[in-house]
A and B are shown apart, each in its own frame.
Chain A
Amino acid sequence: MKNATARRLLCALLALAPAARAAQKPRLEVQELELANGMRFLLLERHDAPSVAAGWVAHVGSANERPGITGLSHFFEHMMFKGSHVIGTRDIAADLALIEEQERLREQMRAEEALMRARLRRGELDDLQRPESWSERYRELARQFQALVERQRATIIKDQIDQIYTANGGEALNAFTTEDLTAYFVRLPKNRLELWAWMESDRLLNPVFREFYSERDVVFEERRLRTESTPLGRYDEAFAATFWEAHPYKWPVVGWASDIPAYTKAQADDYFRTYYAPNNLTGVLAGDFDAAAVRPLLERYFGRLPRGPQPPEVVTLEPRQLGEKRYRAEAETPPTVRAWWKAVPFVHRDRAAFTVLAGLLSGRTGRLYKGLVLERQLVNDADADVDLRKYAGIFSVELQVKDGQDPAAAEQALGEEVARLQAQPVPARELQKVKNQAKANAYRRLASPFFVMIQLLEYDGLGDWRFLDSYAEEVDAVTAEDVQRLAREYLTRENSTVGVFLRKAAAPGGGEQ
């Protein structure tokens, strides 16, 4: 690198830590750079093994959706593995022509689907997913569509992204979607960094959303797998929808069952244009590479992506909750009490204090286990957690009630623990225990470059990757007064949503029919 000024500024970043803390824990040497098109990169050299963990995050998730397209962010994540103008096809012209032809048929199918939804509203059908519900015309169109899909197989090279990475020693190729972000990543031998730059910039430059409709079915199977066929999946979804009033965190990341089969390719195209411009992306590399040498490579490959308009912001704020909300259900689960309170966004100045609050309540020496499991013997397990998202957060407690004990008594005991936190400051030693754990965990979370890469993607997606570095320091600054203030301000009855889950009685005959 020729430019001395830039280099000095890079070094300056590494030395930003206040002197007193620097003695405790050296700064994580993450280098940050931004391309002319607005794409940012976080680079962390780690030379323990001859590989590089590489990923990028799009600052978009289910919170950016609206009713009717819920789950589209996650579905779109799947579509990003379908190839480009170069990857995944033997004949791009024929491929694109077939996709257009398929879309014309799909337009007719969508008109039929609208008629079937009208019949559903009139009570003439009960489940649009069952082929028995489909009109004769719809079945005919579906047959024609299937014929086009089979014709397209001659031009498609199946799952070629995965094949190329696999043949080049790629591991853990995957992606995930949350309410706030979508992350794509892989681990490669260190000599394959250019391959990564080629493959990722290519699918960002000219993606082709082929096999769109069979992938909708795959995502629906994913919904069945994670939500519909699990003991609590649908109840968790309903509970979250009860908790949030206005915020788009209301709907599940995977999307409502009605919306997944209704996505259109036009929606996906529009979504890509809106949210996948380089100025809404951050790349992360962690592993065995030379940060100075890699910069021209990143500029050459990712620099070719055209900057886009600034994506629309999520402006909806969750209103202040006015009264306690309750949810009660019988399911295949041990008796459980769940309490959620509205907390703060990830970048909020109280984020570390919330972490401490959860730490004080959790674990075998936490107040919930000691008070409710060991002393009062009302529950078999108890845990507290904090989930701070980009726009709002959740503080949660879950109690697994002993068989034969009254869930109301467990809930009452939880209330008393909360009242104690509100009434008295936490003793110094108890607070120090949580801080000691934060300090050790701050190192443990750095042990694997791959995991470091994942955390940088997540934290950047939430608005501040530096939390990976500053975590222990921020926790160290939390006072007993902070904890008491949070308990008083947030852990109130009117700010809570309480769920009580009871075990569903077995059907007569002992079966599960």
Chain B
Amino acid sequence: MSVLAVVPLLLALQAHSPVPAASPAPIPAHPDQLRFAPIEFTPPRAADYRVALPNGLVVFVAEDRSLPLVNLTLLSRAGSYLEPAGKEGLAALTGSLMRRGGTRSLSADELDEKLDYLAAQVSTAIGPSSATASLNCLADNFDEALAVFVEILKSPRFQQDRLDLAREQELQELARRNDDSEDIEGREWDLLLEGPDHFTNRFVTAASLRAITRQDLLDFHRRSFHPAHMVVAVTGAFERAAVLKKLQAALAGWPGPAPQVPAVPAELGRSAAPGLYRVQKDVNQGRVSIGLPAVRRDHPDVYALEVMNEILGGSGFTSRITRRVRSDEGLAYSAGSRLSFGTWWPGSFRAAFQSKSQSVAWATQIVLEEIARIRESPVSAEELDTIKRSLVETFPSSFASPAQSMGIFAADEYTRRDPAWWRTYRERIQAVTAADVQRVARQHLDPRQLRILVVGAQAEIAQGDPGHPVRLESLAPGGRVEDLPLRDPLTMQPLAQP
């Protein structure tokens, strides 16, 4: 019926197509001639939404009646850095089995049925440096869904048969570790940059999975979720006061005292020496990563570093690496760079692309040239202006919805970010000069410190492109070249090299 009704409407609009009273402004010859009314935007302030409940729980709460939904996310102080040696995988398994293994009053089947019937989405996870849980449901069902959600957090059952199943599923996932060259690249890159002794590189193995018992899950859960260590973000169609009351009641009477939580490690492990690292994988496109460890987000250079990376490779087609490797030479679909500022431990700079075997060396050379160029000469005024305008104009997008804003505030509270960060961000970006960009490039992108990782068909990669003769080995920082073995996916021990 509605489809039929549309037809006369369209005809009517055409027939009555109104001629604007005033003659329209002419279309300018170039978009540079367009003028735009300014937009005033002040980011919301965390303090306006923050409530500390008597049991220590911090809540960021905002009403949002645009849809009849409630969205709640929760962070609790924990992480896989707390896993005992020999039980790698315990954190992830505890997180996923809280949701999948039943609760004190509900078997696993009953829990799944209940949440699915309520159409409530609940997830739980324990990552490297935080435990998280989330609930999304219709506002009408919030009370019932919240009760189940809190029972999952408070008293998960960890049903033995679901633990056995999850372990078997995970073992099959481990077996896939060498299937995709992208997975191999990601894993070896983390090892090179963060070091084999960093906790994020303690690998789950078949043996460590088999060593995990139900009691281990119960213990790890107990130390990972406690209201005294929780931060909650909640938005949706509710009354602010009412939802706070509900949260306070639901999270009262927690079993056990607040656990002592050691700090997240603040340093990297022993990074690999600068050099070229190669892994053999029989695919027709090589995957290349080039980079080095960077800084934590509280480093004073982060603003200039962000601008520098956007110009070098972080802003898609507007950046230098993409332009040369992709647009000029057609050597890759995806080529660029990423600079992550670590929250707890130092982040990294990583330029990456994927190219057919024969052009791997040539494209690597281009990326190295661009890294050298941004150190040797100042960026143009136009490049600098484009990136600064972009970072300033896109700033409001971080706060596009109450759910996004509350999520940011909760994460900031959890990671103890300086509250001045968002207030001053735009002026700090505006203050970056071309000299700053060059200085931080020189200071933080030392070519002698680069690690280059190449995963692919090494014999063909070594042959290179006859039209652009450059040997990959000749690009090795410090002349160091090392062939890394693939690892047995279940033990992570090196496999014999073919």
Which A residues contact B (CB, under 8 angstroms)?
Answer: 1-3, 5-6, 9-10, 12-13, 16-18, 32-34, 36, 46, 48-51, 81, 86-87, 129-132, 153, 158-159, 161-164, 166-171, 173, 187, 189-192, 194-195, 198-199, 202, 211, 213-222, 224-225, 228-231, 296, 299-301, 304, 332-334, 363-365, 373-374, 380-381, 400, 402-403, 429, 432-433, 436-437, 439-441, 443-444, 446-448, 464, 466, 470, 503, 507, 509-513
Neighbouring B residues of A444 by C-beta, 8 Å:
67, 69, 136
Q: How distant is the Cα of A50 from the Cα of B39 in the complex, in angstroms?
A: 8
Among B165, B176, B497, point to the contact of A511 (Cβ < 8 A). B497
Looking at A51, A173, A195, A304, the one whose CB has the most chain B CB atoms below 10 A away is: A51
Minimum distance in angstroms from B327 CB to a CB of chain A = 6
Please provide the 4 A-B residue pairs with the shortest distance between their CB atoms, ordered closest to farther: A169-B393, A217-B330, A511-B498, A214-B330
Q: Is B315 an interface residue (CB 8 A)?
A: yes
Q: Contact: A224 with B285, CB < 8 Å?
A: yes
Complex: A75 Cα to B167 Cα, angstroms: 44
At the interface, yes or no: B385 with Cβ under 8 Å from chain A? yes
12 further A-B pairs in the complex, CB-CB below 8 A; given A163-B318, A211-B327, A221-B333: A5-B12, A9-B12, A36-B14, A159-B327, A168-B393, A198-B34, A214-B330, A221-B330, A402-B172, A439-B119, A447-B401, A509-B498
Tell me, in angstroms, the Cα distance from A221 to B3 when the chains sit together: 43
CB pairs A–B below 8 angstroms (25 shown): A3-B18, A36-B14, A48-B400, A131-B467, A163-B317, A163-B386, A166-B316, A166-B390, A168-B389, A169-B393, A192-B36, A194-B36, A195-B31, A195-B34, A211-B327, A216-B330, A217-B329, A221-B330, A224-B284, A229-B181, A363-B116, A432-B117, A444-B69, A509-B498, A512-B498
Q: Does B262 sit within 8 A of A, measured CB to CB? A: no
Contacts of A164 in B (CB 8 A): 31
Whether A510 contacts B401 in the complex (CB less than 8 A), given A16-B2, A50-B39, A440-B119, comes out as no
- A511–B16 touching, CB < 8 Å: no
B396/A50 in contact, CB under 8 A = yes
- A219 CB contacts on chain B under 8 angstroms: 333
Q: Say yes or no for B85: interface residue by CB 8 A criterion.
A: no
Given A166-B386, A301-B27, A380-B172, are A34 and B14 neighbors across the interface (CB < 8 Å)? yes
User: Nearest CB to that of A503 among chain B residues?
Assistant: B175
Residues in A with CB closer than 8 Å to B323 are 158-159
Tell me which of B16, B181, B389 contacts A3 (CB under 8 A). Answer: B16
Closest residue of A by beta carbon distance from B71: A447
Min CB distance, B482 to chain A, in Å? 17
> B interface, how many residues as a size bin?
35 or more
Residue of B nearest to A301 (CB): B27
CA distance A199 to B31 in the complex (A): 7
Answer whether residue B143 sits at the interface, using C-beta atoms and an 8 A cutoff: no
Q: Which of B229-266 contact A (CB under 8 A)?
A: none
User: Which residue of B has the minimal Cβ distance to A215?
Assistant: B330
A202 / chain B contacts, CB cutoff of 8 Å: 31
CB A172 to nearest CB in B, in angstroms, measures 9
CB-CB under 8 A from A374, the residues of chain B are 109, 165
Q: Measured between C-beta atoms, what is the minimum distance from A361 to chain B in Å? A: 13
Interface assignment of B355: CB less than 8 Å from any CB of chain A: yes
Contacts of A511 in B (CB 8 A): 280, 486, 495-498
- Given known pairs A50-B41, A512-B486, the reply for A218 and B326 (CB within 8 Å) is yes
- B119 close to A400 (CB less than 8 A): no
| Residues in A neighbouring B176, C-beta threshold 8 A | 231, 332-334
Chain B residue, CB-CB nearest to A217: B330
Which A residue sits closest to B29, measured CB to CB?
A: A86
Choose among A5, A49, A437, A512 the residue that contacts B399 (Cβ–Cβ < 8 A). Answer: A49
- The residue of chain B having its C-beta at the shortest distance from the C-beta of A334 within the complex is B172
User: Which of B2, B67, B389 contacts A446, CB < 8 Å?
Assistant: B67
Chain A residue nearest in CB terms to B465 = A131
B47 proximal to A (CB < 8 A) = no
Q: B37 on the interface (CB 8 Å rule)?
A: yes
Q: CB < 8 Å: which of A36, A373, A400, A512 contacts B178? A: A512
A229 and B285 contact, CB distance less than 8 A = yes
B159 CB to nearest A CB, Å: 11
Contact B1 A510, beta carbon cutoff 8 Å? no
Say if the beta carbon of B331 comes within 8 Å of chain A. yes
Evaluate contact between B283 and A229: CB separation under 8 angstroms: yes
Selected from A440, A503, A510, the residue in CB contact (under 8 A) with B495 is A510
Contact check: which of B68, B284, B332, B486 meets A510 at CB < 8 Å?
B486
Chain B residues, Cβ within 8 Å of A161: 317
Residue B54 CB within 8 A of the other chain: no
Complex interface: chain B residues within 8 A of A443 (CB): 67-69, 138
Chain B residues at the A interface, C-beta cutoff of 8 Å? 1-3, 5-6, 8-10, 12-14, 16-18, 20-21, 24-25, 27-31, 34, 36-39, 41, 66-69, 100, 109, 112-113, 116-120, 136-138, 165, 168-169, 171-172, 175-176, 178-182, 280-285, 315-318, 322-323, 326-334, 354-356, 358, 385-387, 389-390, 392-394, 396-397, 399-401, 403, 465-467, 486, 488, 495-498
Q: Are B356 and A34 in contact (CB under 8 A)?
A: no
Name the residue of chain B whose CB is nearest to the CB of A78: B333
Q: How far is the CA of A401 from the CA of B72 in the complex (A)?
A: 35
Question: How far is the CB of B2 from the nearest CB of chain A, in Å?
Answer: 5
| Partner among A129, A167, A191, A433 whose Cβ is within 8 Å of the Cβ of B386 | A167
Contact among B24, B67, B178, B282 with A513 in the assembled complex (CB-CB below 8 Å): B282
B186 CB to nearest chain A CB (Å): 14
CB atoms of B283 and A466 under 8 A apart? no
Indicate if the CB atoms of A512 and B117 lie closer than 8 Å.
Answer: no
Q: In the complex, A219→B283 CA distance in Å?
A: 17
The reply to whether A333 and B12 form a contact with Cβ atoms under 8 Å apart is: no
Neighbouring A residues of B31 by C-beta, 8 Å = 87, 164, 195, 198-199, 202
The chain A residue with its CB closest to the CB of B119 is A440
In the bound complex, do residue A51 and residue B397 qualify as a contact, i.e. CB atoms below 8 Å apart? yes
Q: How far is the CA of A222 from the CA of B31 in the complex (A)?
A: 31
Cβ of A191 and Cβ of B172 under 8 Å apart? no
User: Contact: A513 with B332, CB < 8 Å?
Assistant: no
Asked whether, in the complex, the Cβ of B112 is within 8 Å of the Cβ of A365, the reply is yes
- A143 (CB) vs chain B CBs: closest residue: B467
In the complex, what residue of chain B is closest to A2 when comparing beta carbons? B18
Q: From the candidates A191, A217, A447, name the one contacting B37 in the complex (CB within 8 A).
A: A191
Q: Say whether, besides A163-B317, A195-B34, A219-B333, A189 and B39 are in contact (CB < 8 Å).
A: yes
* Nearest CB on A from B64, distance (A): 8
B333–A222 touching, CB < 8 Å = yes
Within the complex, what minimum Cβ distance (angstroms) separates B430 from chain A?
A: 14
Bound form: Cα–Cα A132–B138 in Å: 63
Q: Which residues of chain B come closer than 8 Å to A304, judged between CB atoms?
A: 27
Question: Which among A129, A166, A300, A443 has the highest number of chain B CB atoms within 10 Å?
Answer: A166
Give the distance in Å from the alpha carbon of A86 to the alpha carbon of B29 in the complex: 8
From B17, B172, B403, A403 is in contact (CB under 8 Å) with B172
Q: Are B389 and A380 interface neighbours, CB within 8 A?
A: no
> A333: which B residues are within 8 A, CB to CB?
176, 179
Question: A217, A230, A441: which has the most chain B beta carbons within 10 Å?
Answer: A217
Interfacial chain A residues near B175, Cβ < 8 Å: 334, 403, 503
| A166-B386, A171-B394 as given contacts; A228 in contact with B112, CB under 8 Å | no
Known: A32-B6, A159-B323. A231 touches B180 (CB 8 A): yes
Most chain A CB neighbours (cut-off 10 Å) among B120, B315, B326 = B326
Please tell me if the beta carbons of A231 and B172 are within 8 angstroms of each other in the complex. no
- Closest Cβ of chain A: how far from B81's Cβ, in Å? 29
- Which residues of A have CB within 8 Å of B6? 13, 32
Contacts of A373 in B (CB 8 A): 165
Complex: how many Å from CA A158 to CA B325?
Answer: 13
A213 to B322 CA separation, bound complex (whole angstroms): 17
List of A residues within 8 angstroms of B16 by Cβ = 3, 5-6
CB-CB under 8 A for A49 and B400, given A36-B14, A443-B68 = yes
Given contacts A50-B39, A512-B281, contact A300 B399 (CB under 8 A): no
B284 with A229: CB separation less than 8 A: yes
Q: Which residue of A lies closest to B139 (CB)?
A: A443
Contact indicator B397/A16 (Cβ below 8 Å)? no
- Known contacts A12-B9, A437-B116, A507-B498: A189-B396 contact under CB 8 Å: yes
